[in-house]
């Protein structure tokens, strides 16, 4: 497969071909996403929850993102790799946003950054774009702003809310974002916004009217312990946890019963050497 570039993504958008995007947070999760033909791999700061066991994304640092982005770009051969700018690494000044974005490109070799926010973050988007680093914007439910939003709640469900979303969408497009993630908003609103914009929209909980879709890999592969709450928009396409659990259960049983390791898992040695060693 030829490497996906920003030009490839623009051409998919022009042709109306949906863009398939998935998160990865380390080497193996990136390998499988790339092998499955993802157009875009996102190193999302959701790795806070799915990889680091945190309750939300707020404590993730730029150092954390550099480490995870590096492991992902080592694996990916074809997909376009986007790295999230974590909370606190881009909101202070546009200059701070540029410095953080440059670090992710130089030290982790990602091809674009994603940052959360609309109208208020337009100056940061403009500055990063001007520095030659493509920006994916992220509006609607912006998890880094959960305290301001009153939790992880769908956005744009009122007329005023929908108008605010449209204003944010226009602002990020005008500022130079080449793509925008729409998270947890009514499908009709996402479809209208998608029609009005001239850059691709990537939906997560935003219906099928977007230019593409993104999901968190650990969620959609079912690689999580039973009982975990999943957002309404997640579809579980596989059952990786159950598969891994079954294998580990069996391993434990075979260790306890000495069934494992069997002869074929064991190194051979000449019997005479053993005899001599024993003497
Ligand atoms: O962090 C993340 O995984 C994300 C996507 C869900 C859009 O931002
Ligand atoms: Na994120």
Main-chain phi, psi angles of 191, to 5 degrees:
-65, -40
Summarize pLDDT for 127-144 with one digit per residue, the tens: 999 999 999 999 999 999
Ligand 1 atom 8 nearest Cα: 44
229 CA from centroid of ligand 1 (Å): 16
Mean pLDDT throughout 212-223? 98
pLDDT band at 229 (very low <50, low <70, confident <90, very high): confident
The alpha carbon dihedral of 43, 105, 173, 126 has a sign of positive
Is pLDDT at 228 greater than 90 in this prediction? Answer: no
Summarize pLDDT for 160-175 with one digit per residue, the tens: 999 999 999 999 999 9
Is pLDDT at 101 greater than 90 in this prediction? Answer: yes
The conformational region for residue 145 under phi > 0 = left, psi -120 to 50 = alpha, else beta, is: alpha
C-alpha–C-alpha distance, residues 12 and 16, integer Å:
6
Mean pLDDT throughout 220-231? 92
Q: Strand 135-140 relative to strand 80-84: parallel, antiparallel, unpaired?
A: unpaired
Q: Could you tell me the CA-to-CA distances from 40 to 30, 99, 138, 141, 186 in Å, in that order?
A: 11, 23, 15, 20, 24
List, chain by chain if needed, residues with CB within 6 Å of any ligand 1 atom.
Answer: 23, 42, 44-46, 84, 138, 181, 204, 214, 216
Closest ligand 1 atom to residue 57 Cα is 1
Mean pLDDT throughout 195-217? 98
The catalytic site residues sit at 183
Is the ipTM higher than 0.95? The answer is yes
CB 70 within 8 A of CB 59: no
Domains and CATH numbers, the chain: 6-238 (3.20.20.60), 243-278 (no CATH)
Q: What is the pTM of this model?
A: 0.96
């Amino acid at each position: 497969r030829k490497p996906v570039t920003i030009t490839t993504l623009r051409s998919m958008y022009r042709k109306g071909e949906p863009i398939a995007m998935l998160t990865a947070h380390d080497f193996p999760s990136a390998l499988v996403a790339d092998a499955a033909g993802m157009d875009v791999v996102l190193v999302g700061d959701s790795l806070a929850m799915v990889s680091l066991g945190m309750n939300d994304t707020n404590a993730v640092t730029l150092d954390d993102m550099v480490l995870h982005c590096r492991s992902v770009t080592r694996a990916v051969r074809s997909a376009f790799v986007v790295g999230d700018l974590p909370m606190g690494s881009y909101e202070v000044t546009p200059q701070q946003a540029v410095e953080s974005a440059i670090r992710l490109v130089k030290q982790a070799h990602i091809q674009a950054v994603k940052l959360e926010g609309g109208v208020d973050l337009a100056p940061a988007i403009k500055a990063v774009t001007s520095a030659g680093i493509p920006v994916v914007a992220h509006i609607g439910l912006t998890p880094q702003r959960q305290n301001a939003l009153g939790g992880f709640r769908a956005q744009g469900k009122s007329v005023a809310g929908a108008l605010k979303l449209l204003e944010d969408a226009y602002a990020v497009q005008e500022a130079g974002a080449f793509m925008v993630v729409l998270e947890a908003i009514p499908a009709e609103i996402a479809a209208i916004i998608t029609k009005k914009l001239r850059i691709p929209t990537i939906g997560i909980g935003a219906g099928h009217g977007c230019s593409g879709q993104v999901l968190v890999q650990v969620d959609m592969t079912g690689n999580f312990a039973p009982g975990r709450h999943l957002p309404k928009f997640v579809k579980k396409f596989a059952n990786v946890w159950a598969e891994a659990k079954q294998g580990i259960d069996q391993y434990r049983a075979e260790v306890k019963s000495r069934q494992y390791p069997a002869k074929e898992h064991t190194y051979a040695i000449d019997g005479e050497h053993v005899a001599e060693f024993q003497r």
